[in-house]
Amino acid sequence: MNKLISYTEAAKKIKDGMTVMIGGFLGHGSPETIIDELVHIGVKNLTLIVNDSGYPDKGCGKLVSNHLVKKLIVSHIGTNPDSGRKMNSGEMEIEFSPQGTLAERIRCGGSGLGGVLTPVGLGTVIEEGKEIIQVDGKDYLLEKPIKADVAILRANISDEWGNLIYKGTMKNFNPLMAMAADTVIVEADEIVPTGTLSPEAVHTPYIFVDYIVKH
């Protein structure tokens, strides 16, 4: 079970027009080496599912600022001015999803659920085009699950099979995204022999991970 590949091989698995989840919060927990290679090869017309659009020079923001993204599904874009400019000019489509709702939609995609009911966004632009369902006299938005062709993630430690550990806020969206993509690629700071990690310490089991890249 050899899952180890180079960052160049990893980037080549992402093709023009794919939907890609990228872990990280303001770049923390993002697979920077793979992102840099995607910028280098110029893969384009991507749909990104991300918490935020990073910074112009950090995280997934590098893909936005290099004109490789056609659509963002995201909770906020305020830290990357290029995102706002592209949205206002019509160059890039943006679907805003409140942060907690975004996390739940990804979780639903990975768990095979039909969606999540939430009152967040009622009476705002978030509800446009969405079904409102009443439960016990209260209104909720039906937020549908989202999945991706590929998820590229960052972990502090991976064993050779792909059992993953994230430290601190490196965890953020990575475990959820590992469940919600057809192909999962992890960039690991450290790779250890299989069997050296305590099972109860593992945040993402190896069954979700297809490929491992050494950071």
How confident is the model at residue 129, as a pLDDT? 92
**100 inside domain:** yes
Q: Are the C-beta atoms of residues 154 and 31 closer than 8 Å to each other?
A: yes
How confident is the model at residue 119, as a pLDDT? 97
Q: Are the C-beta atoms of residues 10 and 151 closer than 8 Å to each other?
A: no
According to DSSP, residue 52 is labeled B
Burial class (CB in 10 A: 0-12, 13-18, 19+), 187: buried
**174 inside domain:** yes
Locate tokens 């297809």: which residue?
210
**74 inside domain:** yes
How confident is the model at residue 27, as a pLDDT? 87
**34 inside domain:** yes
Q: The domain that contains 171 carries what CATH number?
A: 3.40.1080.10
Percentage of the chain exceeding pLDDT 90: 96
Whole-angstrom Cα distance, residue 148 to residue 18? 8
Q: Are the C-beta atoms of residues 175 and 154 closer than 8 Å to each other?
A: no
Low-confidence ranges of the chain (pLDDT < 50): none
How confident is the model at residue 1, as a pLDDT? 74
**140 inside domain:** no
Count: domains in the chain: 1
Element at 81 (helix H, strand E)? helix 81-89
**57 inside domain:** yes
Q: Closest Cα partner for 7 from 189, 210, 194, 187?
A: 187
Q: Are the C-beta atoms of residues 43 and 66 closer than 8 Å to each other?
A: no
* Beta bridge partner(s), residue 27: none
Q: Which two tokens stand for residue 97?
A: 């999803």
194-209 pLDDT, tens digit per residue, is 999 999 999 999 999 9
Strands annotated E in the chain:
19-22, 46-49, 69-74, 93-96, 116-118, 132-135, 138-143, 148-159, 164-165, 181-192, 211-214
74-85 pLDDT, tens digit per residue, is 999 999 999 999
Question: Domain residues for 184?
Answer: 7-114+146-214
**31 inside domain:** yes
Whole-angstrom Cα distance, residue 209 to residue 183? 8
**134 inside domain:** no
